Amino acid sequence: MKYKVFITEYIDLSGRNYLSEQGYELVYRPEGDEDEIIKGIYDCQALIVRVAKITPKIIDAAKKLRVIGKLGVGVDNIDVDYATKLGIQVVNAPVAGTNSVAEHIVLCMLYCARDIPMIQKEFCENGNFYVKDQRQEAFELEGKTLGLLGCGKIARSAARKAACGFGMNVIAYSPSLTQDKVPKYIRVVSRAEVFRLADFVSINLPATALTKNSIGSEEFAMMKASAFLINTARGSIIREKELIAALKEKQIAGAAIDVFASEPPKRDNELLHLTNVFATPHSAAQTKEARYRVSRDLAEEICRVLQKRKPKWPVNKLC
């Protein structure tokens, strides 16, 4: 049987070529909206998605659908419960982007510590060579504290780079985390201590009913005035209006934001215009190495399911 795989967004050639080599027909519709997806998915057995919302309406339209694959980790854009109810397997690629996102967290710390936006503007746009002498707030990472809210694969990779590469202190909180479960260079603390003690608070949580809108003015009030917030997880975890207020009022020094409550964010979103924000377009995992791995990993996972083999990274459990 020749299977059809519907692809909603950009996917690296490594995955597309692998699926084609297996004899699968690809329906490739990058940037397609819900209506376009519904039109093309009716006879497809597999769906590959990055950030598009996969609603019950889309799932109902796919009469032959057997598997939904997420190009990445978080599946909050997929109605997993509805897919499970209909016996559709949901899979993801949870390890492919780990190193790239961890490196991005380090980049965020360096960017904030050296105040790159102001330095570049003054030097390149205003011709101010002597900004190097006028700027007094830049600092080294060595000896500073990285606080991790959530301590999964990405957080642990960032912790290793920070502690072993830059000589930073690393503290972490996760509800079930104990000291015996982490390397010695990570110190397990309370949630409040992560916010109070860290020079950089990195959000590394999935978007769930418990984590959505869980960080706001109360947490920002705990942070040092010199501290920075880094979010490479999900925008919905942070109450954006309260973060903007904290940044405007200099309650915290700044933020590095890769994810937004609504994506793409509206052009008038103040996080895109504040001078103490380093904003990127959900691109922390977008390196050529990560794109290759996530595409190939997910293509192989799709094949496992369609060939009635056990998936390596199942998101839901089917009866």
Catalytic residues: 234, 263, 282
Q: Which two tokens stand for residue 248?
A: 């405007």
CA distance 60 to 314: 21
- Pairing label, strands 46-49, 228-231: unpaired
CA distance 81 to 86: 9
CA distance 144 to 134: 23
In sequence order, which residues have a C-beta less than 8 Å from that of residue 287 and are 6 or more positions away? 100, 103
CA distance 131 to 137: 12
Torsion of CA 20, 46, 74, 97, to 10 degrees: -10
Contact 145, 306 (CB under 8 A): no
Enclosing H/E stretch for 277: strand 277-279
